[in-house]
Amino acid sequence: MKDQAAKLRELIYNNKTKDLKESNIEKQARIICITSGKGGVGKTNFTLNLAIALSKQSKKVIILDADLGLANIDIALGVVPKYTLADVISGKRELTDIMIPGPSGIKIISGGSGITELIDLSQDRLKSLIEEFQGLNNHADVILIDTGAGLSRGVLSFVLAAEEVVVVCTPEPTAITDAYAMIKTIASKEKGKKLKILINRVESLSEGRIAFEKLKNACDRFLNTSIEKLGFISDDVVVTKSVKLQTPFILQYPNSTVSKNVELIAAKLINDNVKTEESITTKGFFSKVINLFR
């Protein structure tokens, strides 16, 4: 007998094509999951600055901080969320009530411990929550999911549910090895996932290219999995300075090399935007997250 999660997933996916046809040109937010094989590679800082860069390109952006209670985005901005996803799950707040306004018009949703509470929801509450997430289409063109690092069940739930995944690593051998482990795990569970690689803290273009080629060659040879180079971000002292100031470097040091790097990456993401019919809907994404999580 199918469990409730499987039934709900079947219900949603059987109706997904129908929903898209009926809505025809209904706007669907683009969902990009940003993750890493290990901590300390600058994933959260990249996510925050990328959101601002996309906002400068006239995109409405929401960041979902899915780092299970660690609230890294909040710390990076020096803010404390009054409400989190846990308040939505408990029925105390609507999803729009917990969105924190951020710099340059971006909005932030703190997952907090609420993400782990998804496993205890009834089928009716799950369906209601999924409908609330569908409403994010009215508030965003792009939703960036900032996951935790590593291969935990919670991280993989978001990674496997997303249509697009950005894996962040540095040129360090340990970071490349851990990024490979993440890609290997994804490839073992789902073929054809769109995987983009961001090499952070490179001292030169040559170093970035070598790091990416090492990862690409290993993925081609041993995993039969294709990865795409999203870009490189320079190892720049202004990043550390901005972190201490709890201000995104793209705002504090707009003319820095690292800021220009992120702006170029944002432009590339916009230019490479997938077609509407190829995108997973917000309803489909969050229903898939919940079911994978369970």
- Which of 74-83, 162-171, 269-278 ranks highest by mean pLDDT? 162-171
pLDDT tens profile 202-230:
999 999 999 999 999 999 999 999 999 99
**199 has which bridge partners?**
169, 232
Of residues 290 and 241, which shows the higher confidence score? Answer: 241
Of residues 6 and 287, which shows the higher confidence score? Answer: 287
pLDDT for the residue numbered 5: 39
Read off the pLDDT band of 192 (50, 70, 90): confident
Residues 239-262 have a mean pLDDT of 95
Region of poorest pLDDT, from 114-118, 207-211, 233-237: 114-118
Ordered structural domains, the chain, with CATH: 28-293 (3.40.50.300)
pLDDT for the residue numbered 275: 35
pLDDT for the residue numbered 3: 45
pLDDT tens profile 25-80:
467 889 999 999 988 999 999 999 999 999 999 999 999 988 765 667 888 888 88
Of residues 95 and 46, which shows the higher confidence score? Answer: 46
**78 has which bridge partners?**
none
pTM attached to this predicted model: 0.83
Average pLDDT along the chain? 82
